[in-house]
Amino acid sequence: MGEPAKFEERSALPAARALALNLVSKVDLMRLKVLARMHARGLPSEFGWSDLLQEAFARVLDGSRTIPKDVPTVAFLAEVMRSIKSEYWKRTQRHTLTLRSLQAANPNKAAILADSAPNPERMLIAVEEVLAIEKLFAGDAPARQVIAGLYDGLSPNEICTRFALSTTDYESIRKRIRRALLKAHLRNPQ
């Protein structure tokens, strides 16, 4: 059994503890900051990207999520963040369904909510999220085309065919997309 963690280590943010344990590098942390910002959009405003990121690290550090041997740590943490966000929306959906069944039991108050699956709030926020991503590429029409193709679930080949792009064009657009994402999400709010 190792030595008990010092107070500073125990009280540090989970991401800082993971860095101290060499679970991730400093560049990985920047990569994860970008991913956390991307995934935290659509969560309630009082729970920011930092909370999402620290929670993902906490789940790995406390053993509630185990990193599979063949999956890189950063990719796994990204998956954990996605699953945390998905859990949040599932809980919201359950609350909506409970409210709907309560209203069904009381006909006088029924018909307030339309029967709608999926959750309309989720749909609205998803549209806002997509628009926010599109806005990052406002001055770059080819990048917006690639974004539209990815949204539709097209493969790189299908995107090139649909928008008459060469492989070189596509790779160059991918690079612009990566840089725009990194720039937008590494920047600290003013």
Partner 1 sequence: MMKIERADMGLERLLRALEQEVLDASDAEIIEVAHELGMKPELKGSSAFFGVTMLSHYGMATQGEPMPNMSVVKRDVFKTE
Question: Where do contacts with partner 1 occur on this chain (CB under 8 A)?
Answer: 7-8, 11-16, 19, 25-27, 29-35, 38-39, 44, 47-55, 57-58, 72, 74-75, 78, 82, 84, 87-88, 91, 118, 122-123, 126-127, 129-130, 133-134, 147-148, 150-153, 174, 177-179, 181-183, 186-188
Give me the least distance between CB of 162 and partner 1, in Å please: 13
Q: Which is nearer to partner 1, 27 or 164 (CB)?
A: 27
Q: Which is nearer to partner 1, 109 or 183 (CB)?
A: 183
Give me the least distance between CB of 107 and partner 1, in Å please: 29
Give me the least distance between CB of 49 and partner 1, in Å please: 7
DSSP symbols for 141-179: HHHHHHHHHHHTT--HHHHHHHHT--HHHHHHHHHHHHH
- State which amino acid sits at residue 181: L
CB neighbours of residue 190 within 10 Å: 3
DSSP symbols for 47-94: S-HHHHHHHHHHHHHTTSS---TTS-HHHHHHHHHHHHHHHHHHHHHH
Give me the least distance between CB of 174 and partner 1, in Å please: 7
Q: Which is nearer to partner 1, 2 or 86 (CB)?
A: 86
* Residue bearing tokens 């359950």: 94
